[in-house]
Amino acid sequence: MRRVIFNQKGGVGKSSIVCNLAAISASRGYKTLVVDLDPQGNSTQYLLGLKDEKLRHTIADFFEQSLSFNLFSKEPKDFVHKTPFANLSVMPSSPLLDELEHKLETKHKIYKLRDALKSLGSIYERIYIDTAPAMNFYTRSALIAADRCLIPFDCDAFSQRALYSIHSEIAELSEDHNRDLVIEGVVVNQFQPRVKLPQALIEELMSDGYKVLPDYLGQSVKMRESHGASKPLVYFAPEHKLTKQYEALFDRIEDVQLPLEV
């Protein structure tokens, strides 16, 4: 399973969702990999506690290697780093991704990530992909490489408009390049149950035919604290309400038999 979490709008909790779902996956015994394609490196920092510029053998090094033929090229697994958590690894980001993007597009390397993740599928049972909040070369590579996609939604009008736009873009890319890609649904994040607007926006999405997953993720200072500790919630605060919400979401996307009704 290769799952990408993507929204063109920033600040919707993409990296938090990626890392916390991946951490739950690892805690359940699945060999799990996070691929950090965002030059900001938030997932890398969250899982390793290190700035990406201090790391060697990053995802940028993997892409740079693809630009020139070399008999002694490293394998995709050589760009993977173990985290402090059992069963959980990361292919870390790098600021150099920005510099490489144009060269990669010019050389038509859009399928390199797909091929790499297919080979890593013999090692990792679950792969989660984090992207920048933009439909750029790396995001398109991720959507081509993945078989599932979750779209985070943070309950405001800007996020709603972004969702309408990217849903059609993902569908078009899937039609042209990856017919196996399934949009699993919309993940409601930073939900405030006592505020009317979020519920109204969610109901509007549902009336427009969007599959909104019923396991809403709330707001909590525990998330920021877990970022600071470089420790996903399932390890940082296993009994917290938000952790339980993430576990419910994980169970939802892992078990297609669960009902979708709220």
Rounded Cα distance between 197 and 129, Å, is: 30
> What mean pLDDT comes out for the span 225-234?
98
Closest C-alpha to 128, from 187, 174, 171: 187
Partners of 218 in the beta sheet? 191
Residue 261 contacts residue 248 (beta carbons within 8 Å): no
Q: How far apart are the first and last CA of the chain?
A: 26
pLDDT, mean of residues 172-193: 92
Q: Which runs of consecutive H residues, i.e. helices, occur in 84-177? A: 96-106, 112-120, 137-145, 157-177
32-76 confidence digits (pLDDT tens) = 999 999 999 999 999 999 765 678 899 999 999 999 877 678 999
245 Cβ neighbours under 8 A, 6+ residues apart: 215, 216, 217, 218
**257: CB partners within 8 A, 6+ apart:** none
Domains along the sequence of the chain with CATH: 2-254 (3.40.50.300)
DSSP for residue 79 = G
Average pLDDT over residues 193-205: 88
Report the range of poorest mean pLDDT among 41-45, 192-196, 200-204. Answer: 192-196
Residue 212's CB is within 10 A of a number of other CB atoms, namely 19
Sequence-distant (6+) residues with CB within 8 A of 51 are 41, 45
pLDDT band of 258, cuts 50, 70, 90 = very low
Question: Residue 56 is which amino acid?
Answer: R
Average pLDDT over residues 159-163: 80
What is the dihedral sign for C-alpha 59, 163, 214, 198? positive
**pLDDT, position 157:** 76
Question: Which pTM value belongs to this model?
Answer: 0.93
Average pLDDT of span 121-126: 97
H/E element, 230: none
Confidence of residue 261 (pLDDT cuts 50, 70, 90): very low
Is residue 59 within 8 A of residue 37, CB to CB? The reply is yes
Q: Is the pLDDT assigned to residue 159 strictly greater than 80?
A: no
pLDDT (0 to 100) of residue 53: 60
Instruction: Determine what percent of the chain is predicted with pLDDT higher than 70.
Output: 96
- What per-residue confidence (pLDDT) applies to 168? 86
Mean pLDDT of 104-108: 95
